[in-house]
């Protein structure tokens, strides 16, 4: 247990000492992604809005879907849908890339002494940049077509913070396993594609039967998505106990992921 505690403290206290390195890597990832493009970081705004438009067209106008419990209208449907996509896309972008974090940069493993723990931290931070941009667009929509500004908006950071330990733990796990199992990246991409329709993105949790709600709530993305809709579209405070529970469970996931990463990294150089 001492080894587990030591690993946990190292992974969560150590990054503060390496914050400049983490920031530089995250900044390089964001700028490198749009280097040479005409719109640059404007794609981070255009992409989620284009996805939102397509999903709204398909579900609202082709399938004639309505969002339960809200006034019928395109913007109400779109804003509820966008809230789900905002959280899901953050997780999908980070987790889909996680298995390749180490294998894409073999020189950091074989030729230099480098703190590899930086990679999941910086990747999570760079993917969160797109969340911030999308969240600004979504809040603007809530302001214009939703409930307006409410004190509950102050709880927005807690929604994303509650999910951080879970994502980090999965990131450490997948990046370590991805070195040894190269098919893992394709498997994660396939899994996230299926998970999109098993997460309350296109529907609220309340429309499911009680026995299904219990199972869907095991999905760590469910609580943040529901909390985001409560804050922005209903103007009420989220379920703080649910967010706290997610955060505490996430700490356990992060502890396991950190331990597995530390145990596995000894063989990275041999494989790469």
Q: What are phi and psi of 131, to 5 degrees?
A: -65, -45
Q: How many CA atoms lie within 13 A of 72 on its CB side?
A: 5
Q: What are phi and psi of 105, to 5 degrees?
A: -135, 65
CA distance linking residue 120 with residue 94, whole number of Å: 9
Q: What pLDDT sits at residue 73?
A: 61
Q: What pLDDT sits at residue 74?
A: 62
Predicted TM-score (pTM) above 0.85 = yes
Q: What pLDDT sits at residue 15?
A: 66
Q: Write the pLDDT tens digit of every residue in 86-120.
A: 999 999 999 999 999 999 888 888 776 778 888 89
Q: Does the pLDDT at position 69 exceed 60?
A: yes
Other C-beta atoms lying within 10 Å of the C-beta of residue 34: 14
Name the burial class of residue 250, with classes exposed (0-12), middle (13-18) and buried (19+) by CB atoms within 10 angstroms of its CB: buried
Q: What pLDDT sits at residue 87?
A: 94
Q: What pLDDT sits at residue 1?
A: 46
More confident residue, 153 or 40: 153
Give the mean model confidence (pLDDT) for residues 136-163.
Answer: 85
Q: Write the pLDDT tens digit of every residue in 162-195.
A: 999 999 999 999 999 999 998 998 999 999 999 9
Give the whole-number percent of the chain exceeding pLDDT 90.
Answer: 38
Can you tell me which residue has the tokens 């990463």?
A: 261
Q: Write the pLDDT tens digit of every residue in 209-241.
A: 888 888 899 999 999 999 999 998 888 999 999
């Amino acid at each position: 247990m001492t080894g587990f505690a030591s690993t946990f403290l190292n992974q969560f206290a150590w990054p503060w000492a390496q914050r400049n390195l983490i920031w530089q890597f995250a900044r390089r990832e964001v700028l490198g992604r749009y280097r040479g493009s005409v719109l640059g970081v404007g794609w981070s705004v255009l992409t989620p809005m284009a996805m939102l438009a397509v999903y709204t067209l398909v579900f609202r106008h082709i399938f004639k879907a309505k969002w339960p419990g809200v006034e019928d209208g395109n913007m109400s449907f779109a804003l509820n849908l966008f809230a789900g996509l905002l959280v899901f896309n953050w997780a999908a972008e980070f987790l889909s890339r996680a298995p390749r974090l180490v294998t894409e940069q073999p020189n950091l493993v074989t030729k230099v002494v480098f703190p590899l723990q930086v990679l999941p931290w910086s990747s999570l931070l760079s993917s969160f940049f797109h969340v911030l941009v999308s969240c600004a667009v979504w809040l603007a929509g809530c302001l214009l077509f939703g409930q307006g500004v409410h004190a509950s908006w102050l709880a927005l950071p807690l929604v994303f913070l509650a999910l951080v330990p879970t994502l980090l733990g999965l990131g450490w796990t997948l990046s370590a396993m991805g070195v040894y199992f190269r098919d893992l990246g394709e498997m994660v991409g396939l899994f996230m594609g299926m998970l999109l329709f098993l997460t309350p993105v296109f529907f609220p949790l309340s429309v499911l039967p009680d026995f299904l709600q219990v199972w869907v709530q095991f999905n760590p993305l469910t609580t943040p998505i529901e909390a985001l809709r409560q804050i922005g579209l209903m103007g009420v405070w989220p379920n703080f106990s649910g967010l706290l529970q997610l955060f505490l469970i996430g700490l356990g996931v992060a502890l396991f992921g950190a331990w597995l990463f530390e145990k596995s990294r000894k063989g990275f150089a041999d494989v790469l």
